[in-house]
Amino acid sequence: MIASRMIPKIRSGSAIRKMFEEGNRLKKIYGDDKVYDFSLGNPDLEPPKEVSDALKELADNPTPGMHGYMSNSGYESTRAAIAKKRGDEAGMEIDPGAVCMTVGAACAMNDVLHSLLDEGDEVIVLCPYFMEYNSYIENHGGKVVRVNTSDDFMPDIKAIEAAITDRTKAIIINSPNNPSGVVYPAELLSSLNDMLKSKDHVIHVISDEPYIDLVYDGMTVPPVLDYIDNLVICFSWSKSLSLPGERIGYTLVSPKNEDYEDLTQAIVYSHRTLGSVNAPAIWQKVVEKSLYAKVDVANYEKRRDLLYSNIVDAGFTAVKPNGALYIFMKTPDGLTDEEFQDICHDYNILLVPGKSFSGEGYCRLAFCVSETTIRNSREAFFAVGKKLGLN
């Protein structure tokens, strides 16, 4: 008999995964080019050349022990390079000891939450959000506290303040955001910091940053280290270098964090004992050698533009995302998200209802699909819009 708490988890499954399987089923019937599967945020661009060059170099010049165990926080040289990069961006000194190499952002968040949470501690999440946070928080005895964002998906500082209790341990922010694609401005981060610092206990800000390199329209993401004091960063190369299957990322505790000494040690302990032991050795070396590279962001920007045009030209509404890989379009009036999803499905457009992100009234479309798919989907969007009287 498995643990009783697991039963509801395995029965509910993942709506996004189900859509993925449905996409494959439809493709077998109608052909790849007639199914417009926008359900999954699986980056489809190839990693930049720096990654394959680094892999080749490592394979051609093996060093003794390069596949061996290492310090649980990862290679010193990799952590030093990351500390320098993030320190330079923020104009501050960061010690390599602030960094722990992890198995992607999912692992990083679990390491951090395991380090921070006592049973029953609360973690604030901002709706709409990446729903895996629920599991990450509950894995470590935490309680999820949902707070709505404003109409343009920006954090609402007053609403966050109203949700804070004696048990609030942390708040998770994610900018550029999945699913809305918004990027939080510096002033908002400052206001959040001021409000949190006015409380009588430390509330950590966990900055989940898998999309930090995917920004468009010449925008830059404000260095969160400059604006938030009690900060822990969870970074991943899953999207920046298109390496989601390789599982590589890091945590970085801000030197300004009031729990810096204990938290940096607790994260390394958590990383070891939750079972990762250390991040993949080869991939630490690869990211160290590719630290300033990123995927072809202009390509994603072009696809965002094409998909956004399809949506708005066909009569639908969406906030144009400045970052990440998603458009969070408004569900047309008078329909539930699921009803709209079903209508789109009839036209072979697959999207994910907002409920999967605690964002009812919207549906998410991922634009990390081929340009051809996006171009071919235009007619289908117009047909759905026509059926609903929108064009």
Q: Give contact residues for ligand PLP (rule: CB under 6 A).
A: 41, 104-106, 130, 174, 178, 208, 210, 236, 238, 244, 249
The b/e string for 242-264 (b: 16+ C-beta within 10 A; e otherwise) is bbbebbbbbbbbbbebeebeebb
Residue 168 or 236 with smaller CB distance to ligand PLP: 236
Residue 360 DSSP class: T
Count helices and strands in the chain by DSSP H and E runs: 14, 12
Between 105 and 224, CB nearer to ligand PLP: 105
Closest CA to 322 of 175, 156, 131: 175
CB nearer ligand PLP, residue 36 or residue 129: 129
Specify the residue, 323 or 385, whose C-beta has the smaller distance to ligand PLP: 323
Least separation in angstroms between residue 350's CB and ligand PLP is: 17
Distance (Å, rounded) from C-alpha 239 to C-alpha 352? 20
Type of residue found at 98: A
Phi-psi region of 148 (alpha: psi -120 to 50; beta: other; left: phi over 0): beta
Do 230 and 205 contact (CB within 8 A), yes or no? yes
CB atoms within 10 A of CB 315: 16
Closest distance between ligand PLP and the C-beta of residue 341, in Å?
Answer: 20
Q: Shortest Cβ distance from residue 385 to ligand PLP (Å)?
A: 28
CB of 358 to ligand PLP, least distance (A): 13
H or E element at residue 271: helix 260-273
The three-class DSSP label of residue 331 is: coil
Q: In whole angstroms, how close is the CB of 391 to ligand PLP at the nearest point?
A: 32
Q: How far is the CB of 71 from ligand PLP (least distance, A)?
A: 21
Looking only at Cα atoms, what is the longest distance across the chain? 67
Neighbours of 307 (CB within 10 A): 28
DSSP structure string for 146-210: EEE--TTS---HHHHHHH--TTEEEEEE-SS-TTT-----HHHHHHHHHHHHTSSS--EEEEE-T
Nearer to ligand PLP, 175 or 348 (CB): 175
Q: Which is nearer to ligand PLP, 208 or 337 (CB)?
A: 208
User: Least Å distance between CB 248 and ligand PLP?
Assistant: 8
Closer residue to ligand PLP (CB): 79 or 314? 79
CA 368 – CA 362 distance, rounded (Å): 19
Hey, CA dihedral for 287, 291, 295, 300, is it positive or negative?
positive
Closest separation in Å from C-beta 108 to ligand PLP: 7
Q: Which is nearer to ligand PLP, 51 or 380 (CB)?
A: 51
Burial 191-211, CB ≥16 within 10 A → b, else e = bbbeebeeeeebbbbbbbbbb
Q: Which residue has the tokens 């990083």?
A: 108
Taking only Cα atoms into account, the Rg of the chain, rounded to an integer number of angstroms, comes to 21
Closer to ligand PLP by CB, 129 or 381: give it.
129
Residue 181 beta carbon to ligand PLP: minimum distance, rounded to whole angstroms? 11
